């Protein structure tokens, strides 16, 4: 079994916060793969289902962010899920909005949810880092992540969540490069079919040759101009 954990804070007050993008991710996964209804267990909310034949448990800790590890530990211990089968979806201020990175183990970069999980479980789990950007001033970070996404963010956010859910199979198989590539392709804007094709540089430099019709027309115009300048064509009776 795989354990997929979305990090966030419980309650409607925090539902649309940047800090809750992990909750949003597992909600989208549950919807995409018709998981069971959410129910209370392991100090949080869980849902069960299959992703491409792989049994998965989704978890949204209800302990608030800085105590997330308590819920993760209880769920992992009950189902005997090893660290390498635990995937944590969380907000990442060091990535631009809509950017995604995956890493296994490593530091927590000051993220309180990851700190809590590592203190209870160790560092060997997989982190799916979801970019939300960062404010200009470091002291503004707490307010920034606890603020709702702007309306202007909604399009890329919806696209990102759908792409994550659509390509879960390679992520669960630990094929991280394939997962990131597929998500990136979904998020890359499609080139407009009406966009003009770029000119071939060789064609652009090559001078266009006049057609025979254009040459004839040009000669006729030149002849007429010369006749007018010379006083017109000679009469038939002139010698």
The CATH number covering residue 33 comes to 3.40.50.1470
Residue 173 placed within a domain: yes
pLDDT at residue 235 is higher than 70 = no
Q: Is the residue at 208 inside a domain?
A: no
Q: What is the DSSP letter of 200?
A: P
Greatest mean pLDDT among 32-41, 98-107, 201-210: 32-41
| Residue 187 C-alpha from the chain's centroid | 5
Instruction: Report yes or no on 236 lying in a domain.
Output: no
Query: What token pair was written down for 181?
Result: 């590539």
Q: Cα(97)–Cα(62) distance, rounded to whole angstroms?
A: 25
Give 109's pLDDT tier (boundaries 50, 70, 90): confident
pLDDT, tens digit, 9 for 90 and up, residues 169-197 = 999 999 999 999 999 999 987 444 344 45
Give Cα separations from 32 to 161, 162, 199 (angstroms): 10, 8, 43
Which residues form the domain of 139? 2-187
Q: Distances in Å between the alpha carbon of 68 and those of 24, 34, 88, 115, 129? A: 16, 25, 11, 9, 16
Evaluate whether residue 144 is within a structural domain: yes
Q: What's the mean pLDDT in 118-143? A: 95
Specify the number of domains making up the chain: 1
* Structural domain includes residue 217: no
- Rounded CA separation 131/148 (Å): 14
Q: Which residues contact 215 (CB under 8 A, 6 or more apart)?
A: none
Q: How many CB atoms lie within 10 A of CB 115?
A: 17
For 113, half-sphere exposure in the C-beta direction (CA atoms, 13 angstrom radius) is 29
Q: DSSP code of 123?
A: S
Question: Residues 81, 33, 170, CA angle at the centre, nearest 5°?
Answer: 60
Residues designated catalytic: 19
What pTM value is reported for the model? 0.79
- Whether 182 is covered by a domain: the verdict is yes
Sequence-separated (6 or more) residues with CB below 8 Å from residue 41: 75
């Amino acid at each position: 079994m795989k354990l997929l954990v979305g990090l966030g804070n419980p309650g409607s007050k925090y539902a649309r916060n940047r800090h809750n993008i992990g909750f949003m991710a597992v909600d989208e996964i549950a919807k995409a793969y018709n998981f069971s209804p959410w129910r209370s267990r392991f100090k949080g909310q869980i849902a069960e289902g299959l992703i491409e034949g792989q049994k998965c448990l989704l978890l949204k800790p209800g302990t608030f962010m800085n105590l997330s590890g308590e819920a993760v530990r209880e769920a992992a211990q009950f189902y005997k899920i090893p660290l390498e089968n635990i995937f944590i979806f969380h907000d990442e201020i060091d990535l631009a909005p809509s950017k995604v990175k995956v890493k296994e183990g490593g530091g927590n970069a000051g993220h309180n949810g990851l700190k809590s999980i590592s203190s209870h479980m160790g560092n060997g789990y997989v982190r799916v880092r979801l970019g939300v950007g960062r404010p200009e001033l470091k002291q503004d970070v707490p307010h920034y992540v606890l603020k709702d996404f702007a309306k202007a963010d909604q399009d890329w956010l919806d696209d990102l969540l759908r792409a994550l859910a659509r390509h879960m199979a390679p992520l669960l198989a630990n094929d991280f490069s394939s997962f990131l590539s597929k998500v990136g392709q979904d998020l890359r804007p499609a080139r407009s079919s009406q966009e003009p094709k770029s000119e071939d540089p060789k064609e652009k430099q090559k001078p266009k040759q006049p057609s025979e019709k254009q040459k004839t027309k040009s000669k006729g115009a030149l002849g007429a101009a010369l006749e007018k300048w010379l006083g017109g064509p000679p009469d038939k009776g002139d010698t």
